[in-house]
Every structure is written in C-alpha cells, then in structure tokens.
Amino acid sequence: MLRRKIIESLDRWAVRDHKKALFVEGARQVGKTTSIREFSKSRFKHYIEINFIKKPLAKSAFDGDLDTQTIVMNLSMMGFGTFVPHETVIFLDEIQECPQARTAVKFLVEDGAYAIVESGSLLGINYKGETHPDGDTIDEIASIPVGYEEHLEMYPLDFEEFLWACGINNDVIKILKESFDSMKPVADFVHNRIMELYRKYLVVGGLPEVVDNFVKNEDFSHTVSTQIDLIKGYRHDISKYAGKDKDIVKRIFDAIPSQLAKQDKRFIIANLEANASRRKFADPTQWLIDAGMAYYATNVNALTLPFSNYENRKLYKLYMLDTGLVCNMSLNGRQFEVMNGEIGINEGALTENFVAAELAKKGVSLHYHDKKSKHELDFVVATPKGIKIIEVKSGRDFKRHASLSYTMSNEGENISEAVVLCNSNVEFENGIKYLPLYMTMFL
C-alpha cells in the first residue's frame, strides 16, 4: 500500500467533534478511493462503500424522500451492510453520477448519525442535464450542500511520496530539508541518489497505479503500458463527459506535451487550428482544468502584487496533471534516455511540468511573467514577503539566466526571493538560490 499524505488530513477530519461531510475531489486515478477506503476501515467500526458507477442501482435509494431513515432503509435492503449510528462511515464514491445523493448529504449531516465521506471526479462538469453520446442523461443537481461539506483536493503522488514508495525514509528527507534550510550542499552520494530518483519520477510520474507497478515490477514495459491505458481512460472520459466540445478538448489534451516542448512553452491555439478564435477554445480548455487533467499558468505583465490586477488571460501555459504522462505522450521509447539525463532540450518540457505540478499540489496559483516577449520568468509566486521568482534550468548552463539577472537589477525591490532549480547541488551566489530540482518539494 502506497503511503499518502492525504491520510493525515482524513485523520484530522475524523477527530473533529462537529464534522461536516468530507468531500475528496480530484482527477480520476489519483488514488482517492484507495486512500479513503484504507482510512475508513482503520478509523471506524463499520464501513459502507457505495460506488455509483459499479452499483448504479444504488442511485434509486435516493429517488424518494431524502431523510436519513429512508435512505439507510433503502440501502440496507439493497444489501450494503450494517448501519450502526455513530459507529459507521458512509462512503459515497463517484458521487457525480448521482446528483440526488449529493443533495441528500445536507440532511445526512444534519441528522448526525453517520460520518459521511464523498468522492468524485469531473465534479460539476456533468451536472448539466445534457444527453451524452452514450445515451445517458445526467440530471442537474437540485441543491449543492453548501456549508455542510469540507473539501479536500487530491493529486497524484508528489515527489516526496514517490521517495517513500522507493524506500527512502524520513531521515533522508530530513537531511535534504536541513540542507535546503541552511543552504548547504547535500552530500554528493545522497544528492546523486535523489537526482537519480528524480529522473525516474519524470518518467514514472505520480499516478498510484503506475508507481505501484514500477516499484513492484522489474519489467519497465508494464509501467509504460499502464500509463498508456490511463491516457486512454482520460480520453474516454473526455468523450463521455465533454459533450459537444469533446473533439476540441481531446485536441487540447493531446497537444499539451508538444506545446511544452517549444522554446517559450506558451500554449498557442493557432498551432492547433489556423485562425481559430480564443472563444472557441476557452470552454474546452477550462473543461480540462475543471476535470483536474491540466493546470493553467497565466501571464502577468508586471511584477506587482496582487497579480490578479496584471493578469493577461490571453497568454497562458498548460501543464499536464502528471509528468509521467507528458513523458509517455511525447518521448515514448526514450524513457531510459530521460532517466540518464541524455535528452537535451526535450527535458525542459518535463522539468517545467514537474515544477508546475509540484507547486499546484501545494495550492500555489501558477503564474509566469512575460512582458512583450522580453525577460520571461518561468514562475512568479506571491508570498507574504513579496514576489518569489522560480526559474527552471534543465541544462548545464544553469547560471546563465538573462531574464532573472535583468529583473534582479531593475526590479529587485519587489522580489523577496530568487530561486534557480537545476541539476546541480545547493549553492547561494549573488542573492540567488541554486537548488536541485528535487527540492521543489520544499518550496
């Protein structure tokens, strides 16, 4: 069983005296169901799991009155188990398939007899009353239980969780953190080992099924085939849920790796379709973001806070939720070159996607700076102390950073911290922190 950080958040929710329902959301295949199941069975005497995709008949339990007694009676008659008040957690999985169950959460929470955990993907995307090509009609949700839910976002494994899966214990991670805090180099043998695992993470990514396959199976082809199956699964979800925009959504999804491989990495609609309007692609792009399959990084044309006043939403980058998928979609057949650091400029797409995904998992709003195509900065982050600049360098010339140097010289008063993430060890020079790429986990 892979160790996941979300278990700690689930535990904190479980010990609260006055619990709301806990809603765990995120893209498909990030490990929501497995983590909730593991947590629930260890925390509660009785565990009821209702998956509305595997057990579609369960939807009918919510067709009538939505009081707790009626719902529990209906579910009991369907054979879902023993409901013992104040000792039972009810896990409503894939709840996006049953809007009435989402409405019922309010009344279940008000009753207070049972702990309620919900999980879903593509949430809100299919609460539109649309008829999809497969013939299913998804009814619009009657009443979202505002004030009765605590939300928790789940992502693929971050790099620290990947280290745990690969047998790196907390003592080693503590040494890395101490080096990060003190700005002292990591011992060479430790640095080399973690860099080796970082390069593997670029290839494997953090989707639990892929990671589990990687650590248990010496035949790497199984890892690659698992990624291919997951990519097909995401494309299937797009076909099923994206409605009339499905073809455009697929084109955007498929184009992310190649767009990141460009020098500026900005997502250019014209590369997909000549003379295409931004409006035509806006909703399909947002669909991918809402589904958790991609992350936005919007342009800010001034290094002034708040960034919201200086965003240019016509200019943006798109990153994939998982770097392993980027590698598979763009460099399949060259994974061992990636692991050995032998892919040259192509590594830039993977390294920047890695940093973007690690920041997103920490809840960081992604922005980059570019003013009239001059002095572009990969990431700019708003902090209580000011603006943090993060530059990502995958090559050996990581100390060549004209845009960062220009910014430090001309707008230094707005900059609280300048970081260059690179393949080298920890170093501090001329006000700039040079950190190994794996230390993104501490930013």
Q: pLDDT tens-digit profile of 194-218?
A: 999 999 999 999 999 999 999 999 8
* pLDDT confidence band for 143 (50 / 70 / 90): confident
Q: Contact, 316 vs 298, CB < 8 A?
A: yes
Q: Residue 366: which pLDDT band, with cuts at 50, 70 and 90?
A: very high
Confidence check: pLDDT of 123 > 70: no
Tell me the mean pLDDT in the region 76-105.
Answer: 95
Look at residue 76 in the predicted model and tell me its pLDDT.
97
> Is residue 127 pLDDT above 50, yes or no?
no
Shortest CA distance to 256 belongs to which of 294, 301, 207? 294
Please give the pLDDT value at position 382. 96
Confidence of residue 23 (pLDDT cuts 50, 70, 90): very high
Q: What is the mean pLDDT of residues 414-428?
A: 96
pLDDT for position 55: 96
Q: Is the pLDDT of residue 438 over 50?
A: yes
Residue 312: phi and psi, rounded to 5, are: -115, 95
Q: Out of 139-148, 244-253, 323-332, which region has the weakest mean confidence (pLDDT)?
A: 139-148
* pLDDT in the model for residue 132: 44
Task: For residue range 226-252, list pLDDT tens digits in order.
Answer: 999 999 999 999 998 899 999 999 999
Query: Is a pLDDT exceeding 50 seen at residue 130?
Result: no
What pLDDT, on a 0 to 100 scale, did the predictor assign at position 129? 45
Q: Are 342 and 394 in contact (CB under 8 A)?
A: no
What pLDDT sits at residue 378? 97
pLDDT at residue number 124 = 57
- Residue 373, pLDDT > 80, answer no
State the average pLDDT for the chain.
Answer: 93
C-alpha dist (Å) from residue 390 to 47, 234, 379 = 45, 30, 5
What confidence score (pLDDT) does residue 11 get?
A: 96
Token pair for 112 = 């207070």
pTM for the complete prediction?
0.93
